[in-house]
Amino acid sequence: MNVHEFQAKQLFAQFGVPVPRGKEITSPEAGASWAAELNTPVFVVKAQIHAGGRGKAGGVKITKDKAAVPGLVKELIGKTLITHQTGPKGREVRRLLVEEGAGIAKELYVSLLVDRDSGWPVFIASTEGGMEIEEVAAHTPEKIIREAIDPAVGFQGYNGRNVAFALGLPAMEPAVVTPFIQMLGNLYRLFMDKNAAMVEINPLVITSDKKLIALDGKVSFDANGLFRHPDVQQMRDLNEEDPLEIEAGKSELNYVKLDGNIGCMVNGAGLAMATMDVIKLAGSEPANFLDVGGGATKETVAAGFRILLKDPNVKGIFINIFGGIVRCERIAHGVIEAAKEVKITVPLVVRLQGTNADEGRKLLAESGLKLEVANDLWEAAQKIVKLTGKAA
């Protein structure tokens, strides 16, 4: 689950990470009132959407004129921002962050996430603050610093010193070394206490008066840990999430909407990724990632059908199931019952492999339903691509 920048900064402040004074604003009147209270030399008005690249898309405005703030709020509220992360449809701006500006002397990058290889939290830092970390990694990987934290011990002072020295802070700005180390410790507490999946500050600025400020912030949370944090759950903005993804979550399905035309229903994340790859190889595009889990039932399959069919881009459905925990004939029964319950209006190809796969395929073939049965993954992909009007 992602939260807005203003919410991330609220969490930063709770854990002792310095942030600019700012407030969520939803109307020009509120913007005028807050600007009068803020009374700073520089005002920053920032669109709040769950996507990066807001500044390049015109979603960040800066002014020294307090009287100009309401006009900037009016300009941005209701505007659709299109960035490299929103897709061509963009995102409507429903709320803003109005905050004080900062005298920037130096910009840094700092984030904390879980390293998939070791399973340990790892700090990622760079002197290239303000840039996308992917660009830094691609063009100047030597400027990326990593510091893993042993979760059995937790963050220690030497971890902070390692990062500070690798960034060159003692030579660059010795006055901020101690506050920087303390800030990293606070970020680690936030990360662990709130079951975060990622915490990012980009940029973390050193101001002209030798202070650290998290000028921009992003926090995402592990959905599996949200039940522990009702305060974090209240930060969820459903307007920023796809309605089909919300519906899938209610049915405990792992679903991510994509831009293709072939709906995929698969059990297992690895098999789902392979299915999407083979659809592209066959000449079409997947419309989604949908993992119904290892114990696929009639109910989960029916819920999957309903979600896929609500996507107007879906022109065909490809079910790719490996029978391991649940035998294939039971999966076939589930598909048959679910297909009868949910009116399927697009071509359907089912590929079964695993325990009792032959029996499952026979049940499907004799079901009287309008569907195609396949044995091989490549064969199944070619069938659904042909049935949807595209061929490799």
The encoded tokens of residue 174 equal 């010795």
Which residue is catalytic, options 5, 128, 147, 200? 200
Query: For residues 9 and 48, what is the distance between their CA atoms, to the nearest angstrom?
Result: 12
The encoded tokens of residue 234 equal 């209240």
3-state secondary structure of 171: helix
Which residue is catalytic, options 109, 128, 255, 329? 109
CA nearest to 99, candidates 184, 18, 175: 18
Amino acid at 83: T
Backbone angles phi, psi at 227, to 5 degrees: -60, -20
Catalytic status, residue 92: no
Alpha-helix runs per DSSP H in the chain: 5-14, 28-38, 69-76, 133-139, 157-167, 169-172, 177-193, 230-233, 243-250, 269-281, 298-309, 328-341, 357-365, 377-387
Query: For residues 144 and 165, what is the distance between their CA atoms, to the nearest angstrom?
Result: 13
Catalytic status, residue 200: yes
Catalytic machinery residues: 109, 200
